[in-house]
Chains A and B, each alone.
Chain A
């Protein structure tokens, strides 16, 4: 049996979940014996194979039109989709802005910060993604495995990937279910 292909990407998150993935240290070598690690934000290949992968992993919530596009593309190209971390699962820290809206958040970031002078303006290049109400990945596409945590521990990520690599659906509860 060929090794299952795994691809990942990050959306509105802090990259911390991918850092936690790297925290599994030498077990990454074990993991690469079990899976074919394809496109990730930290490898050369950036987009999941057009031919599709077995497992897709998404970190971060959906905060703009670009995140939405990436999530839909990943869903189309993978068989099993994993939502990795609190932002992907619940909306997380980016979703804090939902309590007052994207407009307010942009104004605070680009105009009102103490270090910004009067030239501050909200970027309005038409090429830029359009900010949205922040949603968990499951609000946009179907998610098969939820692994919450801020960030999920390396042990939890290893458990999920090792199970998937061996053809089993991982159970995320008790030891690995940690929302903090």
Chain B
């Protein structure tokens, strides 16, 4: 620990802390602009200058390390004058007129800093030089006129996301923010994760859909978990007057540095399908509105009129654990239907369950990616899917990371690293053999044979193999292409190898809640063929074309859905469903965290959850629906994921 004083007050901080951290720990506030708690301190804006006794000049508190016996002063005439000067210079450049910016009154760190300094005018008149405005991106706008070159966005793009799209061009007052060395954002390598927009301290990068729709304080913030994939990032759902305005990463969370990907941030606000607002029944090719009681009677009659082998029931992986559990309980226990299933084509969660039978708890937490210095990725596309997990690898420095990867198609992640062993195809087992065989003590006879058959460059392959003993924190990431029941023996070989070399294993599991579905014994990769009665609890998801074909060929079609789309149009009865933001429910992440999605919006009068509908149907058939799932699930998770 290091002892120092801030404004005469003694404070102790850990070795390696900055002066800013010491100041904050002592309970004082120093204004900052370029500093962001998730980023490496940069010292660009000079707003956080403090006086350190004995130092020749004022020091930027965000970058200066706290040292023993240091005497720091934050609020002297000198620091105040410096802050005033820094702000005066910032306002003298570009266009910082607050009255025509949407990031005003609490949403702009620059304006707030000026308020805090008691500035009521600009001592230096602006230069009125126009800068480039980039409106080519579908999700956000870049207005260089409002940029203060703090580089928070650039640093987020490279340090956290690892995409390296944003950069600063030109020098001095001509500095501008550009993508890919100056191409329009909309045509650049930008992956639209929007993390740069969230960290922008001014209105230089701003969201197209939510601009001028209210300040942060006008919006209702609901902390929640993302259910657009199974990574389970923490997000804040921002609403106003029961309308979804914006989705942001939860900056209070530590998981994955509060990042979101395009899917988690923008999919929810892009939704534009027509909502189903009341139960509908097909009569002479037209949908007629009916009341819930009527609709449930029709459904109940159909279910009773058929044998259990004539009924098939499917539920979407986007549904909460509560709904999945009610669904399984209702159809399996009440109707004894063998195939209650999640529609999707991803067996990875089932594979996890199978592997745990042999190995006991063997999977690691996703945070293992943060410290990893080597990754063996088999059958997972971390550029397209599970993007935030991908960010944690993409941002690694090339010469500090080792990559073994087999993917069905060429994957751009490979381009980031030089020490790599990458093949395109599905010979996962071959590569497992190659690694396992090398580990077993030098080179085994098959090594050269595998290198040749995989078309690998021998010197590269050997360089990687030879680096294996130096790996400190290797992780093995298994994706859906490899994680199939048919590959179980090869997977076992891989897990055995991982345990021998101390690599952490992560199996990325399909849809949002497919892990929970697997633990509740729902079938993960069902045959979605036709049946006399088909019940689809689709909710707010999108059905795949297999499901659509199956539905088309089925007899009586019952669909509970939030939206009127191609799938719903096939139904005989449509039951209106709540969407993700309208009901509270739990989600099980791919690494075994049970997280709560909180309700942010109030649904329409007739929109109901899957479990509420099943509870009513149970009542009609005299069945008592079991809703207890937590204890069973918690136990099952601990048998698969390491504590």
Contact = CB atoms under 8 A, between A and B. Distances in A.
B99 interface: yes
- Most-contacted residue by chain B among A89, A99, A135, A172 (CB, 10 A): A99
Given A179-B98, A179-B111, A180-B99, A90 B105 contact: no
Nearest to B104: A180
A148 interface: yes
Interface in B405-439: none
Contact of A98 (B100, B122, B128): B128
Given A173-B120, A180-B105, A90 B128 contact: no
Contact of B100 (A89, A93, A100, A178): A93
B130 A136 contact: no
A90 B126 CA distance: 9
Interface in A117-151: 133, 135-136, 138-139, 143, 146-148, 150
A78 interface: no
Contacts of B99: 86, 92-93, 150, 179-180
B125 A89 contact: no
A150 B316 CA distance: 51
Interface centre among B115, B120, B126 (most CB of A within 10 A): B120
B121 interface: yes
Contact of A179 (B104, B126, B129): B104
B97 interface: yes
B285 interface: no
Nearest to B95: A99
B97 A89 contact: no
B264 to A, nearest CB: 31
A91 B97 CA distance: 9
Interface range, A side: 20 to 34
A179 B419 CA distance: 54
A136 B125 contact: yes
Contacts of A136: 121-122, 125
Contact of A99 (B104, B118, B119, B128): B128
Given A136-B125, A180-B104, A86 B97 contact: yes
A174 B115 CA distance: 7
Contacts of B118: 173-174, 177
A5 to B, nearest CB: 24
A36 B240 CA distance: 46
A72 interface: no
Interface string B125-137: 1101110000000
Nearest to B99: A150
Nearest to B122: A90
A98 B128 CA distance: 6
Provide the main secondary structure of the chain B interface: loop
B445 to A, nearest CB: 73
A64 B396 CA distance: 57
Interface size grouping (class) on chain B: 20 to 34
A135 B120 contact: no
Nearest to A151: B99
Contacts of B104: 179-180
Nearest to A149: B99
A89 B98 contact: no
Interface string A46-77: 00000000000000000000000000000000
A89 to B, nearest CB: 5
A96 interface: yes
Contact of B130 (A83, A100, A147, A177): A100
A146 B97 contact: no
B115 A177 contact: yes
A90 B97 contact: yes
A7 interface: no
A180 B217 CA distance: 15
A83 B95 contact: no
A95 interface: yes
Contact of B120 (A98, A100, A148): A148
Interface in A98-115: 98-100
A89 B114 CA distance: 14
Contacts of B98: 86, 150, 179-180
Nearest to B101: A180
Given A90-B97, A150-B99, A179-B98, A83 B128 contact: no
A20 to B, nearest CB: 13
Interface in A162-180: 172-174, 177-180
Interface string B84-128: 000000000001011110001100000100110011111001101
Contacts of B121: 83, 89-90, 136, 138, 143, 146, 148
A118 to B, nearest CB: 30
A88 to B, nearest CB: 9
Contacts of A83: 121
Nearest to B105: A180
Contact of A172 (B120, B128, B130): B120
Nearest to A171: B118
A28 to B, nearest CB: 24
B120 A96 contact: no
Interface in A14-70: none
A86 B99 CA distance: 8
A100 B604 CA distance: 50
A90 B121 CA distance: 7
Contacts of A172: 120
Contacts of B111: 179
Nearest to B98: A179
A100 B131 CA distance: 11
A27 B539 CA distance: 58
A86 B114 CA distance: 15
A126 B211 CA distance: 44
Nearest to B215: A180
Interface string B17-45: 00000000000000000000000000000
Contacts of A93: 97, 99-100
Nearest to B118: A173
Contact of A95 (B97, B114, B129): B97
6 closest A-B pairs by CB: A98-B128, A150-B99, A146-B121, A179-B98, A173-B118, A146-B120
Interface of B: 95, 97-100, 104-105, 111, 114-115, 118-122, 125-126, 128-130
Given A93-B99, A96-B100, 9 more contacts: A83-B121, A86-B99, A133-B128, A146-B120, A173-B120, A177-B118, A179-B111, A180-B104, A180-B105
30 contacts: A86-B97, A89-B120, A89-B121, A90-B121, A91-B125, A91-B126, A93-B97, A95-B128, A96-B97, A96-B100, A98-B126, A99-B128, A100-B130, A135-B125, A136-B121, A138-B121, A143-B121, A148-B120, A148-B121, A173-B115, A173-B118, A177-B115, A177-B118, A177-B119, A177-B120, A178-B105, A179-B98, A179-B114, A180-B98, A180-B99
